[in-house]
Amino acid sequence: MFGAAPPIPLMLVLVRHGETLDNRAGRLLGRSDPPLTSLGRVQARAVAAVLEPERPVAVYTSPLGRAVQTATMIGAACGAEVVVDPRLIEIDYGAWENRPLQEVPRDAAAVASDPSATFPEGESLVDVGQRVVPLFEELLGRDELVVAVTHVTPVKAAVAWALGVGDEIAWRMHLSLASITRLGQRRGRPYLLSFNETSHLRA
């Protein structure tokens, strides 16, 4: 009889915040700061219920309210300290902030084809990666389970970093609200354990 395989060490869990009204309306949501909807709060509680048995030692969060609300519920369920880190903030969409998504493709060709291209008066995908990767390296280096509650673009930047691919991959990924993505580290290098887990939301 073969013994059970040792568990994979989960060291960094990335969580996208729950729903806001701007998400529901299909608008670009960067640095604006709407609160969670009632559904968003239900989603945050569902994430907390999944992570509670895993006993993370800390929950890092973007300073934006929707992320802090989500992180606070996770921290309370897990008995973990909540730490605000501004590097986890969402991309700055600049002049495109709050635009309906259906209006964006008419103007987005340059941004979609070049990850170093900035949104008008805002940031680029490369900017986000340069901001968040040092934090993710730091958290993975702790060699213990940590949660980071953030937004769609920082999570995609983390996945690109873990896979060793360019930031333009962000436009080829869909990341759901209140989803879970997991990274590990082996021989000093990050790797992707899971992406866009949503089974906890189906109920």
What would the two tokens of residue 107 be? 């103007």
Residues whose CB falls within 8 Å of the CB of residue 19, separated by 6 or more in sequence, listed in order: 36, 37, 39, 40, 43, 177, 178
Rounded CA separation 173/157 (Å): 11
Catalytic, 174? Answer: no
Residue 134 identity: P
Does the annotation count 17 as an active-site position? yes
Q: Extract the tokens encoding 197.
A: 């887990």
R_g (Cα) of the chain, nearest Å: 17
**Among 17, 19, 97, 123, the one annotated catalytic:** 17
Q: What are phi and psi of 10, to 5 degrees?
A: -90, 115
Which candidate in 52, 54, 90, 197 is catalytic?
A: 90
The catalytic residue positions are: 17, 90
